[in-house]
Amino acid sequence: MIVTIEDLEKSKDGVLFFDFEDTPEGIDLKEPAKAKFTVKKLGEGFINVTGTINAKVNVVCDNCLKNFVYEVNTKIDETYAEDSLYDEYKDETEIKDNFFAIDLNGEGKIDLTDLIYQSVILSLPNKFVCDINCNGSEVINKYIKTELQDPRLEIFKTIKTEKDN
């Protein structure tokens, strides 16, 4: 879904509300992601997008290789600059401490589907585990070494400290 700055300027009070479902490419979703966004013109060439995204992503457990659904519930608060902030193009710029603005570089539109994609991907953990008690499967566990068996480290077993004497 695309929001144009022209539509935002024509809206009452410079605010648009969106409540929709979308399926961004590149994410294996169980069902379309649900998004609720408020797009607000801040004046001085800035636009703010706030809202929530709820998505169910099909993933594979890294411990046991079972398929399961990981739920993503994330809040959005992004600020965009309508025109280029610099002569040289930069994707994102820190305006003040911890206040970042994504440079639209005069494009005149915001891609909400891309915002969903980025937010869901950034909300995913590095390691997927289907259950807090998942210990893996026999197929995987036979390839995992449980003891450190590096022969170069054997020398450390012979070190004596004052406490040992």
pLDDT digit string (tens) for the chain, length 165 residues: 888 888 888 888 889 999 999 999 999 999 999 999 999 988 777 889 999 999 999 999 988 889 999 999 999 999 888 776 555 545 555 555 555 677 777 778 889 999 999 999 999 999 999 888 887 777 666 666 666 667 788 888 788 887 766
On whether the CB atoms of residues 108 and 6 are closer than 8 A, the answer is yes
Is residue 34 in some structural domain?
A: yes
Burial of 12 (0-12, 13-18, 19+ CB in 10 A): exposed
3-state secondary structure of 19: strand
On whether the CB atoms of residues 17 and 82 are closer than 8 A, the answer is no
Is residue 29 in some structural domain?
A: yes
Residue-number span of the structural domain to which 134 is assigned: 2-158
Is residue 121 in some structural domain?
A: yes
Is residue 135 in some structural domain?
A: yes
Is residue 96 in some structural domain?
A: yes
- Reading the block at residue 72, the tokens are 């993503």
Is residue 38 in some structural domain?
A: yes
3-state secondary structure of 14: helix
Is residue 165 in some structural domain?
A: no
Q: What b-and-e string marks burial along 112-131, b requiring 16 or more CB atoms within 10 Å of the CB?
A: bbebbbebbeebeeeebbbe
Domain count, the chain: 1
Is residue 64 in some structural domain?
A: yes
